[in-house]
């Protein structure tokens, strides 16, 4: 769908956050060094990332905060609002509804669905939980969140795609099949723990055979 | 802490899942092609990743499933059990306690903490919610999960580090400061949405200026 790697997009998100902070402080220019201020990002990487988008800092002056912020906002698709439907009114679904930060970036959770008769009709956040069977293209959802048990995840993905959703955030620890035009991101908590257990194991056994895989 | 990139570790987690599946099906050998079966991984990448760890498939035969599985298990630190404390007994904390899958991979949630008098003493999953002020090195936690409001996140990180935790999974959308020997992973939901809005924007405006950032 795009030749820009997932890690580049994450770095853009990071730069955007830094730009928002410094804009709020009234700063007009920012150096690649300050934009890089995070473990694993070098200022050379920042300059490389931004040059892809045609943005070049000026030696000794850095980047114009407002200009760069508007540019990244456009690249990340944050210059419009996105309609999001959450499927699964359990713990994760409730967390999504409770978090107020999404709206600030243009992500509006406009519908929540479940398959359980006990949950349908109850209120979550400011929304009434609807029967997943009522999800349709009329909901005009851009993105869907799958926060259901694993066994339901593929059916829910199919229903979201049938309703015209083109981006899915999946919390179920299962590989889902979606058409190539649908973007899929998975948050796998076990994988996060594995990333930590890897780091802790390496720290304790620093002589272990290893290499740089990128 | 380690020269192996985050993306390599995630791919190892992916291979491990595939290996567990095919082992359960009784398969003895597996090709790099089958291990690669996921968007964005090529069989050349698989061979490269595994060669770093000294594992080489045999032409026409592939990799020995049990051998490779044991090897990756060791690399990811899944050959032992890890003691995890969850801080924050809200939606995300509840989701962590409710999910049964962690235990299968050696991740045991052994304690849950909160700062709210209303939550302390209540039961979450099989655990009693403890006052965060009682967290100490005696808990012998390996990892901590921060599932608190943003404003409390840094204090909680400090408390976890003081209690000897060496790996932190953070759900609060804030950059946390931890000592270099502590591994930190952040799950930022807004960043996940931004990755999707980026993909959807690019799909709709395919002629946008772009490059390959990696």
The CA-to-CA distance between both ends of chain B, in Å, stands at 22
* Sites in chain B below the pLDDT cut of 50: 1-2, 206-214
Q: What is the ipTM of this complex?
A: 0.89
Q: By CA distance, what is B14's nearest residue in A?
A: A191
Cα→Cα distances B173→A5, A101, B3, B149, Å? 22, 9, 26, 9
Quick check: B161 and B178 in contact, CB under 8 A?
A: yes
Measured CA to CA, the distance from residue B194 to residue A107 in angstroms comes to 9
Measured CA to CA, the distance from residue B203 to residue B55 in angstroms comes to 38
Residue keyed to tokens 């969140």: A145
Q: What is the pLDDT at residue B57?
A: 77
Residue keyed to tokens 């339901």: A152
Q: How far is A197 from chain B (nearest CA, A)?
A: 5
Q: What is the pLDDT at residue B24?
A: 92
Contact at CB, A195 and B9, closer than 8 angstroms: yes
Quick check: B165 and B146 in contact, CB under 8 A?
A: no
Contact at CB, B7 and A183, closer than 8 angstroms: no
Q: What is the pLDDT at residue A199?
A: 94
Give CB contacts under 8 A, 24+ apart, made by A154-161: A156/A87, A156/A88, A156/A132, A157/A184, A159/A87, A159/A132, A159/A135, A160/A85, A160/A87, A160/A135
Chain B residues touching residue A13 (CB < 8 angstroms): 188, 190-191, 194-195
Positive or negative torsion for Cα B55, B58, B59, B61: negative
Measured CA to CA, the distance from residue B83 to residue A193 in angstroms comes to 11
Closest CA to A74 of B197, B189, B206, B188: B197
- What stretch of H or E contains B107? strand B107-114
> What residues are paired with A169 via a beta bridge?
A145, A185
What's the predicted TM-score (pTM) here? 0.85
Residue-by-residue DSSP string for B151-188: HHHHHHHHHHHHTT--EEEE-SSSPPP--TTSEEEE--
Measured CA to CA, the distance from residue A21 to residue A29 in angstroms comes to 12
Q: What is the pLDDT at residue A211?
A: 43
Give CB contacts under 8 A, 24+ apart, made by B54-61: B54/A209, B57/B31, B57/B32, B61/B29
Q: Which among B4, B10, B209 has the least Cβ separation from residue A210?
A: B4
Contact at CB, A2 and B214, closer than 8 angstroms: no
**Best residue in B142, B197, B210 for a mutation probing chain A (most A CBs within 10 Å):** B197
- Centre a 10 Å sphere on the Cβ of residue A56 and count the other Cβ atoms it contains: 10
pLDDT tens for chain A, residues 1 to 214: 346 788 889 899 999 999 998 999 999 999 998 898 866 789 999 999 998 877 777 877 899 999 999 999 999 999 999 999 999 999 999 999 988 889 888 999 999 999 999 999 999 989 999 999 999 999 999 999 999 999 999 999 999 999 999 999 999 988 899 999 999 999 999 999 999 999 999 876 644 444 433 3
Measured CA to CA, the distance from residue A157 to residue A179 in angstroms comes to 10
Q: What is the pLDDT at residue B107?
A: 96
Quick check: A202 and B2 in contact, CB under 8 A?
A: yes
Q: What is the pLDDT at residue A39?
A: 63
Q: How many residue pairs bridge chain A and chain B with CB atoms within 8 Å of each other? A: 245
Measured CA to CA, the distance from residue A144 to residue A142 in angstroms comes to 7
Q: Which among A82, A94, A199 has the least Cβ separation from residue B197?
A: A82
């Amino acid at each position: 769908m795009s030749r820009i790697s997932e890690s580049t997009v994450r770095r853009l998100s990071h730069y955007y956050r830094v730009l928002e902070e410094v804009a709020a402080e009234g700063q007009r220019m920012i150096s690649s060094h300050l934009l890089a201020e995070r473990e694993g990002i070098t200022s050379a990487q920042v300059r490389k990332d931004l040059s892809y988008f045609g943005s070049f800092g000026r030696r000794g002056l850095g980047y114009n905060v407002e200009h760069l912020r508007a540019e990244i906002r456009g690249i990340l698709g944050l210059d419009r609002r996105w309609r999001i439907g959450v499927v699964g009114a359990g713990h994760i679904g409730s967390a999504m509804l409770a978090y107020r930060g999404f709206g600030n970036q243009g992500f509006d959770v406009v519908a929540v669905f479940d398959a359980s008769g006990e949950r349908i009709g109850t209120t979550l956040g400011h929304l009434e939980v609807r029967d997943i069977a009522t999800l349709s293209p009329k909901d005009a959802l851009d993105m869907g969140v799958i926060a259901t048990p694993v066994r339901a995840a593929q059916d829910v993905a199919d229903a979201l795609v049938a309703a015209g959703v083109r981006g899915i955030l999946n919390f179920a620890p299962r590989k889902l099949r979606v058409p190539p035009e649908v973007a899929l991101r998975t948050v796998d908590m076990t994988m996060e723990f594995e990333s930590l257990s890897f780091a802790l194991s390496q720290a304790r056994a620093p002589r272990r055979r290893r290499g740089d895989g990128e």
